[in-house]
Amino acid sequence: MPPEPSTTHDPAADVRPAYVAVALDLPVDRLFTYRAAPEQRAQADIGHRVLVPFRGRSLMGFVAEVDETKPAFKVLDVSEAPDGHALLGPDLLELGTFIARYYGTSLGEALAAMVPRGVRHKGKGQKRRRVTLTDDAKAVVREADGKLSEPQQRILRRLRKHPAGYLMSDLCRAAHVSISPIQTLARHEIVTLTTERSQSDALEEAAREAPPTEPREPTPHQKTCIDALVASLDDETYEAFLLLGVTGSGKTEVYLQAMARCIAQGRQAIVLVPEIALTPQTVKRFRGRFDNVAVLHSGMTEAERAKAWRRIRAGEADVVIGPRSAIFAPVPKLGLLVVDEEHETSFKQQSVPRYHARDVGIVRARAAGAVVVLGSATPALESYRNALDGRYTLLELPERVGGRSLPTVQIVDRTSGEERQRRGSHIGRTLEIRIQEALRAKGQVILLQNRRGYATSVACPRCGFLVECEHCDVTLTFHRSDAVAMCHLCGHERRVPGACPDCALPRLEFRGVGTQTVEEELGERFPGANVARMDSDSMATRDAYEDVLGRFEAGAIDILIGTQMIAKGLDFPNVLLVGIVSADTALALPDFRSGERTFGLLAQVAGRAGRGDEDGRVVVQTTMPTHPAIVLAAEQDYPKFAATALEDREQFGYPPYRRLLRVVVRSKSERAAAERAAVLAKIIVQAATTTTEILGPAVPPIARVQGHYRQHVVVKAPTHREIAGVLAALRKAKRPARGIEEAWDVDPMGVL
Ligand code: ADP
Ligand code: ZN
C-alpha cells in the first residue's frame, strides 16, 4: 500500500509514544514494528531513517507507517532517530513500494537500493583507497613457498603492470577478487593502502572547464521534436516519447532545449546515460548549457555521493546526470526524464532489486506528471512496440545534422574468394585497403572486435581437448600480455599446458579472435600507425579510459581497437572508417536478444563514422552475410529490422508479446540445485494460470559458474499480472537450505 504523505504534527499528540512500522533491508516480506518515545516522534516520522535493534544487531531502516495504537505483541524501542527531516519523500517511498511489488523484493531491499549508502549510514562512508605494490621481493619469496593464493597472485600480476597502483574498487574488478586478499597482502606488507582524500576526478575537471554553449538553431526535424516536448512540458502532465534518431542526428540538442524549458518552469530534469557513456565529453555538453548540474557516477566516494544527494534533495541542482541509480535522485519536482541510449542493457540492475531504470523511470514520471524522452538509434523492441501501440509518442530524427550522410556500409563475406581467412589473419583484403586509405587521408579508424583477450579458446588440434575453467562451464580465453588462460566469468587463471594433457600432442592451438589478436596484427600490418586498445583489460581504471579518449580526441591515436566499449556515444569528427572485425560473435549466443544486440551494436558502432565533414565508411566482416540483423544494420534501417524481429518475438513468445520471469538456482551440489529447481517449478505450476507457459526446470546454456551448478525455470505470461501471482507464491515459499542460492529476475535481459 502506498504510504500516506507525512503530516505535520499536533504538538499535543507528542506526549504519546508512536508505533512505527520499519522497512529493513532483509529478504522478508514484512515491516517490523518498534516503539518511538514521545520525544522521538517528530524524528521518527514517515520516510525517516531509524536505527533499530534486530536479533542482537542494530539495523538502519526507513519508517513506512506510523500508528498510535499499541500493538498486541511486544515491541522493542527505536534506538535512534537521527534526522530532523524525511530522507525519502512520499514520491520515492511510493516508487519503492512499486519496485518491491513488481520485482518481488521486500520494501526494505528496494529502499536500500534507492538511497546511497553514505546517506543511509552517515559518517560510515568508505574512503577511496589506492593499492600499490611496495615489496615485490617479499611477494616472490612467499610465492616460492607456495603461500600465495590464486586471487593474491592475480592481484600481484595486475599491480606489477601498473606501478601507479589501482583504486581498491578498480583492482577488485580487474582481478576478480574481493577486498580480503588485498587486505591480507597489506598485512604482510607486500602492498600498501593509502587513502585518497581529494577527488581529482576527470569528470569534475572537464565539467568545471566546460565552456558555456548557446542553444543551436534546431534543424526542422529537431524543431518538430522540441516543439512537441515543450508543448507536453507546458501541460505539466505525464507523457512518454520515444525519440528514434539515427546516429549523429542531434538527439542531445533536443534534450537540452527541452531541459531548458523544464528548468524555466522551476522543475528539475534527470538524464540517465549508460555507465560507459558517462564521459567528460558527455558531461561537458550538459554543464556547458546549464549552471546547476549534479553528476552521479561510480567513481565517487560514498561521502561525495551523499553530498551530491543532499544538494539534489535541497533543490540546488536543476539537472542530474548519472547512470541507472540516478533514477532515484531526490529532485523535489521532476519535470523531465531523459533516458539516453535507452536500449542499453546496463540500465537493468543484476542484483536485488533487479530493476530496470527505464521502466522504473516511466512509473516515477507518471506519478510526478513529468515528461519522459527515451532516445536511441536502435530502441529496445519493447519500447518501439510501445510507440507503435501509441503508449509512447514517436518522434523521429531520420537524418544526420548538417547535411551529413550516414556512412556507407560494405558487408564483406569472409568465406569467399580473396576475403577468405588467411591463417592467423583477421583483417581481410577489403578492410586492409580501407584502413590504408583512411590513414593516408589522415583520418582515424575505429575497429570493433567484441571479444577481449588473444584467443577465445585453446584446443588440441588432434584430439579436440579444450582448456576449460575448473569452476565454470566455459573455455578459457588466452591473454597474451599475461601469458595465461583466463575465465571471463570468474577470473580463474591458469598457465596453458605445453602439451595436450589428453593425447600428449606437444602443441596446442589458439582459436578465435580477441582484441589482443587484432591489436597484434595491426602492429604488424600498419607499423607506422599508433594503435590503442580499449577493452576491460586495458581499461581497468577509469583514468585509463579517459586517457585513451583524450589521446584519441587529440589525434595521437590512429587506430582504436576495442570491444563494445568503443561503440557508445563517442563523437569524434575525424573518424573516417569503422571496421567490424567479426560481426558473428554475438549472433552465436543462444539468447532471444542476440539478434537485437547484434543489430544495435553494429548500427551504433557504424554511427561513429562520418561525424565530421568527410563521409564515413564502414566495413563489416562476417561469415553470415545474409543474416537479417547484419544486412539491416548495414542499411541502418531500424524500422525494417524491428518489423522482422518483432515477428520472431511474437512467434516464439518472447517480449514484448510475453512477460518473462526467470528463476535461477545455484549450488555447489548439482543435485541440490536440481532438487530445489524442481520444488520451485512445482510452486510455479500451482500458482500459474492456464495462459502461462513454464519452461524447465532445465540447465541453462551456461551450466556452471564459479563452481556452482545452475538450473533455471523460465515463466512466460501474457501480462505482468500472471507473473505477479507466481512471484507472490515464490515469496511465500520456504527459504532454500544452506548452500543453495536462488534469484528471480522479472523482465530478464537474457536467459543465458
Ligand atoms: P546523436 O546523439 O543523435 O548521435 P549528437 O547529439 O551527438 O547526435 O549530435 C551530432 C553532432 O551534431 C554534434 O556534434 C552536435 O553538436 C551537432 N549538432 C546537433 N544539433 C545541431 C544543430 N541544430 N546545428 C548544428 N549542429 C548540431
Ligand atoms: Zn570460471
Sorting pLDDT into bands at 50, 70 and 90, what band is 196?
A: low
> In the listed set 115, 149, 165, which residue is the last one of a domain according to the structure?
115
> In the listed set 616, 648, 680, which residue is the last one of a domain according to the structure?
648
Q: How far is the CA of 384 from the centre of ligand 1 (A)?
A: 23
Going by the DSSP 8-state scheme, the letter that residue 5 receives in this structure is P
In a domain, 506, yes or no: no
For residue 340, the ligand 1 atom closest to its alpha carbon is: 2
Best residue among 226, 401, 568, 571 to mutate for probing ligand 1, ranked by most atoms within 8 Å of CB: 401
Distance CA(39)–CA(52), nearest Å, equals 16
More confident: 465 or 55: 55
pLDDT at residue 198, as a whole number: 42
Residue 145 reports pLDDT greater than 80: yes
Distance CA(34)–CA(732), nearest Å, equals 24
Q: How far is the CA of 24 from the centre of ligand 1 (A)?
A: 46
pLDDT at residue 38, as a whole number: 87
Q: Which of 182-191, 202-211, 215-224, 625-634 has the highest mean pLDDT?
A: 215-224
Q: Which amino acid is at 434?
A: R
Residue 205 reports pLDDT greater than 90: no
The tens digit of pLDDT for each residue in 492-546 reads: 787 888 888 888 888 888 777 788 888 888 999 999 999 999 887 766 666 777 7
Beta strands in 524-633 (DSSP E): 531-534, 559-562, 575-580, 617-622
The answer to whether the predicted template modeling score (pTM) of the entire model surpasses 0.95 is no
413 lines ligand 1 (CB under 6 A): no
Sorting pLDDT into bands at 50, 70 and 90, what band is 201?
A: low
Residue 569 reports pLDDT greater than 70: no
Ligand 1, atom 19: closest residue by C-alpha:
250
Residue 450, helix vs strand vs coil: coil
For residue 251, the ligand 1 atom closest to its alpha carbon is: 3
341 lines ligand 1 (CB under 6 A): no
In a domain, 717, yes or no: yes
What are the grid coordinates assigned to 441, written together? 587521408
Judgement on whether residues 617 and 726 belong to the same structural domain of the protein: no
3-state secondary structure 650-673: HHHCCCCCCEEEEEEEEECCHHHH
567 lines ligand 1 (CB under 6 A): no
Sorting pLDDT into bands at 50, 70 and 90, what band is 479?
A: confident
375 lines ligand 1 (CB under 6 A): no
The tens digit of pLDDT for each residue in 700-726 reads: 878 888 888 899 999 999 999 999 999
pLDDT at residue 480, as a whole number: 73
Best residue among 252, 279, 553, 611 to mutate for probing ligand 1, ranked by most atoms within 8 Å of CB: 252
> Rg (Cα) of the chain, in Å, rounded?
27
More confident: 32 or 135: 32
The tens digit of pLDDT for each residue in 271-299 reads: 999 987 777 778 888 999 998 999 988 77
Least confident of 226-230, 421-425, 601-605: 421-425
Q: What angle do CA 68, 72, 77 make, to 5 degrees?
A: 60
In a domain, 477, yes or no: no
For residues 404 and 610, the answer to whether their CB atoms sit within 8 Å is yes
DSSP string for 342-408: TT-GGGB-SSSS--BHHHHHHHHHHHHT-EEEEEESS--HHHHHHHHTTSSEEEEE-S-GGGPPPPE
Q: What angle do CA 163, 166, 168 make, to 5 degrees?
A: 150
Residue with cell 505477479: 724
pLDDT at residue 1, as a whole number: 42
Judgement on whether residues 238 and 106 belong to the same structural domain of the protein: no
Closest ligand to 708 CA? 2
Residue-wise over 555-568: b if at least 16 C-beta within 10 A, else e?
eebbbbbbbbbbbb
Residue with cell 527505536: 78
Indicate if the alpha-carbon torsion angle 651, 655, 657, 659 is positive or negative: positive
Helix (H) or strand (E) holding 23: strand 18-24
pLDDT at residue 202, as a whole number: 52
Q: How far is the CA of 259 from the centre of ligand 1 (A)?
A: 16
For residue 401, the ligand 1 atom closest to its alpha carbon is: 12
Q: How much of the chain exceeds pLDDT 90, in percent? A: 43
Ligand 1, atom 20: closest residue by C-alpha:
250
Best residue among 221, 243, 253, 605 to mutate for probing ligand 1, ranked by most atoms within 8 Å of CB: 253
Judgement on whether residues 179 and 215 belong to the same structural domain of the protein: no
Sorting pLDDT into bands at 50, 70 and 90, what band is 483?
A: confident
338 lines ligand 1 (CB under 6 A): no
pLDDT at residue 233, as a whole number: 97
Q: Which of 231-235, 484-488, 567-571 has the highest mean pLDDT?
A: 231-235
Best residue among 225, 571, 575 to mutate for probing ligand 1, ranked by most atoms within 8 Å of CB: 571
Sorting pLDDT into bands at 50, 70 and 90, what band is 2?
A: very low
What are the grid coordinates assigned to 91, written together? 514520491
For residues 375, 380, 385, 388, the Cα torsion angle rounded to the nearest 10 degrees is 30
pLDDT at residue 486, as a whole number: 81
Domain with residue 619: its CATH number is: 3.40.50.300
Residue 8 reports pLDDT greater than 70: no
Q: Work out the mean pLDDT of the chain and round it to a whole number.
A: 87
In a domain, 486, yes or no: no
Q: How far is the CA of 281 from the centre of ligand 1 (A)?
A: 13
Ligand 1, atom 9: closest residue by C-alpha:
250
Closest ligand to 250 CA? 1
For residues 714 and 680, the answer to whether their CB atoms sit within 8 Å is no
Distance CA(251)–CA(378), nearest Å, equals 13
376 lines ligand 1 (CB under 6 A): no
Sorting pLDDT into bands at 50, 70 and 90, what band is 124?
A: very low
Domain holding 721, by residue range, is 659-746
In a domain, 235, yes or no: yes
Ligand 1, atom 16: closest residue by C-alpha:
250
Judgement on whether residues 633 and 562 belong to the same structural domain of the protein: yes
In a domain, 121, yes or no: no
The tens digit of pLDDT for each residue in 719-732 reads: 999 999 999 999 88
For residue 571, the ligand 1 atom closest to its alpha carbon is: 7
Q: How far is the CA of 519 from the centre of ligand 2 (A)?
A: 25
In a domain, 2, yes or no: no
In a domain, 490, yes or no: no
Judgement on whether residues 307 and 379 belong to the same structural domain of the protein: yes
Sorting pLDDT into bands at 50, 70 and 90, what band is 22?
A: very high
CA separation, residue 318 to residues 334, 357, 684 (Å) = 10, 20, 46
Name the residue among 272, 232, 260 with its Cα closest to residue 355: 272
Closest ligand to 706 CA? 2
219 lines ligand 1 (CB under 6 A): yes
> In the listed set 157, 181, 197, which residue is the last one of a domain according to the structure?
197
Q: How far is the CA of 27 from the centre of ligand 2 (A)?
A: 28
For residues 95 and 325, the answer to whether their CB atoms sit within 8 Å is no
Q: How far is the CA of 475 from the centre of ligand 2 (A)?
A: 8
What is the separation of C-alpha 495 from the centre of its chain, rounded to a whole number of angstroms?
31
Closest ligand to 474 CA? 2
Q: In the chain, what is the greatest distance between 2 CA atoms, to the nearest angstrom?
A: 90
Closest ligand to 492 CA? 2
Mean pLDDT value across residues 323-350: 95
245 lines ligand 1 (CB under 6 A): yes
253 lines ligand 1 (CB under 6 A): yes
378 lines ligand 1 (CB under 6 A): no
Name the residue among 558, 583, 529, 564 with its Cα closest to residue 409: 583
What are the grid coordinates assigned to 361, written together? 523511470
Name the residue among 381, 749, 365 with its Cα closest to residue 373: 365
Distance CA(326)–CA(309), nearest Å, equals 10
pLDDT at residue 13, as a whole number: 55
573 lines ligand 1 (CB under 6 A): no
Going by the DSSP 8-state scheme, the letter that residue 522 receives in this structure is H
Domain with residue 180: its CATH number is: 1.10.10
282 lines ligand 1 (CB under 6 A): no
For residues 320, 321, 322, 323, the Cα torsion angle rounded to the nearest 10 degrees is 110
Sorting pLDDT into bands at 50, 70 and 90, what band is 53?
A: very high
Sorting pLDDT into bands at 50, 70 and 90, what band is 424?
A: low
Closest ligand to 471 CA? 2
Indicate if the alpha-carbon torsion angle 664, 665, 670, 676 is positive or negative: negative
Q: How far is the CA of 378 from the centre of ligand 1 (A)?
A: 17
Q: Which amino acid is at 542?
A: R
For residue 245, the ligand 1 atom closest to its alpha carbon is: 3
Judgement on whether residues 341 and 424 belong to the same structural domain of the protein: no
More confident: 220 or 479: 220
pLDDT at residue 457, as a whole number: 77
Judgement on whether residues 365 and 232 belong to the same structural domain of the protein: yes
250 lines ligand 1 (CB under 6 A): yes
For residue 222, the ligand 1 atom closest to its alpha carbon is: 23
Ligand 1, atom 14: closest residue by C-alpha:
571
Q: How far is the CA of 554 from the centre of ligand 1 (A)?
A: 20
Ligand 1, atom 17: closest residue by C-alpha:
250
Query: How many domains is the chain built from?
Result: 5
Judgement on whether residues 527 and 630 belong to the same structural domain of the protein: yes
Q: Which amino acid is at 51?
A: L
pLDDT at residue 418, as a whole number: 74
DSSP alpha helices (H): ranges in 607-669? 628-635, 638-652
pLDDT at residue 3, as a whole number: 47
For residues 421 and 427, the answer to whether their CB atoms sit within 8 Å is no
3-state secondary structure 111-156: HHHHCCHHHHCCCCCCCEEEEEECCHHHHHHHHHCCCCCHHHHHHH
Judgement on whether residues 540 and 628 belong to the same structural domain of the protein: yes
Q: How far is the CA of 251 from the centre of ligand 1 (A)?
A: 7
120 lines ligand 1 (CB under 6 A): no
What is the separation of C-alpha 340 from the centre of its chain, rounded to a whole number of angstroms?
13
Distance CA(662)–CA(715), nearest Å, equals 6
Q: How far is the CA of 715 from the centre of ligand 2 (A)?
A: 28
Ligand 1, atom 23: closest residue by C-alpha:
218
pLDDT at residue 442, as a whole number: 93
What are the grid coordinates assigned to 8, written together? 505535520
pLDDT at residue 12, as a whole number: 54
What are the grid coordinates assigned to 445, written together? 579508424
What are the grid coordinates assigned to 408, written together? 556507407
Name the residue among 361, 362, 320, 358 with its Cα closest to residue 341: 358
Distance CA(472)–CA(684), nearest Å, equals 28
Judgement on whether residues 98 and 177 belong to the same structural domain of the protein: no
Judgement on whether residues 255 and 351 belong to the same structural domain of the protein: yes
pLDDT at residue 282, as a whole number: 83
How large is the angle between the packed helices 90-103 and 720-732, nearest 10 degrees? 80
251 lines ligand 1 (CB under 6 A): yes
What is the separation of C-alpha 685 from the centre of its chain, rounded to a whole number of angstroms?
32
Residue 703, helix vs strand vs coil: coil
Judgement on whether residues 383 and 440 belong to the same structural domain of the protein: no
571 lines ligand 1 (CB under 6 A): yes
More confident: 547 or 279: 547
Going by the DSSP 8-state scheme, the letter that residue 210 receives in this structure is P
Residue 437 reports pLDDT greater than 60: yes
Residue with cell 563452481: 707
151 lines ligand 1 (CB under 6 A): no
pLDDT at residue 11, as a whole number: 54
